[in-house]
Structure 1
Amino acid sequence: MPSRSQVQRLLADGLDYEEAGHRLGVPAGQAFLIATGLPADGGGTLTTAEQHRSGMPQESTQHLANPPAGNPTGKDETRRWLRRRAVTDRQMRQSAEQWDARPKGDRAPGGVHELTSVLTRDHDRVTALLKQLKALPGVTEGGSETQLARRGSVVALIAEALESHEPAEQRHLWPAVREALDGGDRLADQALEQEREGTGTLAALRGTSPDSEEFDDLAERLESQLRRHVAFEDAVFVRLRENLPQEDRERLGAEVVEAWQSAPTVPRPHGRQE
């Protein structure tokens, strides 16, 4: 701990509290406290004697009590430590070996063929993948090689899910919206534009290495786009259930499920086989 005389000697040499504290290895506010015996935040009313105490500057000292904050998780040495920790931790390695990002359960269980229910269930599966993507730290958060590889796997699963989800909506959902709802053309066009934006981001993401900051930026953009699109469609579903007869929604939902079930099986990009 620096002494009062050390701080005051530096002040006498013309240094301010920030520089004096830096040289002595203490925060500026602590250097002020050592020199004057008073807190830098200016709490309470100073007496005349305190105002003229040695080391007391003329200007406010409030800024000395709130030095700039640093984020240690953004430092390279912190990221390196996190990577080493993930590699050497036995429980973390075992968890990595057992990890499987694919959502559990049937995509369209028997008896669930109503159009908006089928598509909402598919939305929930994509949302679950987005949560996993967000929970895994990227390179900007010090993610390990295993975690970065997992992020790439989750993105591949999102792409796999949307590969059949969006064509089904384009073939069965949006034509029904255009015909059944007032302003349906506008709603369908807006939704299709959202899908084009998301598809472009997803394509760029799949062409980017998970160990890059660009991947993290694109992943964040994709999450925002997909969540906004899902919220938009949920609002459309409410109106569709009010305006399209149940039997029509059941027929369209069954057609969507049939298309999914007849689609070629896509190899899993990562994880256990069920």
Structure 2
Amino acid sequence: MPSRSQVQRLLAEGLDYEEAGHRLGVPAGQAFLIATGLPADGGDTLTTAEQHRPGMPRESTQHLANPPAVNPTCTDETRRWLRHRAVTDRPMRQAAEQWDARPKGDRAPGDVHELTAVLTRDHDRVTGLLKQLKALPGATKGGTGADLARREFVVALIAQALESHEPAEQRHLWPAVRAALGTGDRLADEALRQEHEGIGTLTALRETSADSEEFDELAEQLESQVRRHVAFEDAVFVRLRENLPQEDRERLGAEVVETWHSAPDVPHPHGRQD
């Protein structure tokens, strides 16, 4: 532990607390505490005598107690280390070769017919893809070329799902909401606004290179928008089940599923075909 005389000697040489602390191997706030016997974040409660202690600067010392945070995961050195570990780790490479983000199971099993159940299952598949997208490191977190290709693949899967999901809702769900609920017009209009916002982000994401910071920012934005939209629709589904007869919801659910059957598949990034 440095002594008070050591800190004060460095201050007398013209160093500030940041540099003095660096030379002595302690944080700037600790160097201030050693020199003055006072905490760096106590400036508003100092007495007149304390304000004139040796080593007391004229300006505020709050910055000494709360220095700017440094995130080491954003440095080039950290990214290079992560890439090296991923390339040299054989189990990781083998797992990557077997990786496939496509949701397992039928999009709409034969025992799922009711409209809100069909759409909720589809929501779960999309949010599952978003979890995978978030788990894969992007360019700003040291992602490898393979990681970035996988992120693009997941985005393509999300786009594939939404390209058939949203039109089906616009054709079958929201007209039913408008007709069945007293506030249906307002709810449908808000939902369509959210959908338009999310599709705009998704379009921008698909037009952006995965090795850019912008791609990572858009991916985070899309996740937030989709989660907010799903929560909004879940609340609408509760009211729809209370106000629209079961047989009507069964019929609409079957119509939604019918529109999905012709949706094209997305090729695997490594050329795999199941």
User: Which bracket does the TM-score occupy, shorter chain normalised?
Assistant: 0.7 to 0.9
What is the aligned partner in structure 2 of residue 57 from structure 1? 56
Tell me if structure 1 keeps the 8 A contact 2:32–2:40. Answer: no
Matching of residue 72 in structure 1 with residue 78 in structure 2:
no
How far did 1:225 drift?
1.2
How has the CA–CA distance of structure 1 residues 85 and 112 changed in structure 2, closer, same or farther, with 3 Å as cutoff? same
1:176 and 2:199 correspond: no
Cα distance, 1:135 vs. partner?
1.7
Gaps of 5+ in 1: 44-50
Indicate the larger mover: 1-10 or 249-258: 1-10
Partners of 2:197 and 2:63 in 1: how far apart? 45
1:112 maps to: 112
Q: Distance in 2 between matches of 1:125 and 1:156?
A: 14
Q: Which aligned pairs between 1:1-274 and structure 2 lie closer than 5 A?
A: 7-23=7-23, 26-32=26-32, 56-57=55-56, 64-261=64-261, 263-270=262-269, 272-274=272-274
Offset, 1:180: 1.4
Matched position secondary structure for 1:266: coil
Could you tell which deviates more after superposition, 21-30 or 221-230?
Answer: 21-30
Give a deviation string over 1:35-54, Cα, whole Å, max 9, x none: 68x685699xxxxxxx8xx9
Verify the 8 A CA contact 1:133 1:154 in the aligned structure 2. yes
Aligned-pair RMSD on alpha carbons?
A: 2.9
Q: Counterpart in 2 of 1:48?
A: none
Q: Distance in 2 between matches of 1:120 and 1:145?
A: 34
Aligned counterparts of 1:75 and 1:35: Cα–Cα separation in 2: 34
| Partner Cα separation in structure 2 for residue 236 and residue 264 of structure 1 | 26
Equivalent-residue separation in structure 1 for 2:41 and 2:267 (angstroms): 62
Q: 1:259, CA displacement in angstroms?
A: 2.0
* C-alpha contact (below 8 Å) 1:11/1:55 kept by paired residues: no
Q: How far did 1:176 drift?
A: 1.2
CA contact (8 A) 2:136 2:143 kept: yes
Task: State the shift of 1:20 in Å.
Answer: 2.2
What is the identity, as a one-letter code, of the residue corresponding to 1:162? L
Unaligned runs of 5+ in 2: 43-49
Residue in 1 that maps onto 2:47: none
Quote the sequence identity (%): 79
Q: Deviations over 1:94-146 (max 9, x none)?
A: 12111111111111111211111111100110010111111222222222222
SS of structure 2 residue aligned to 1:137: coil
> What amino acid maps onto 1:170 in structure 2?
Q
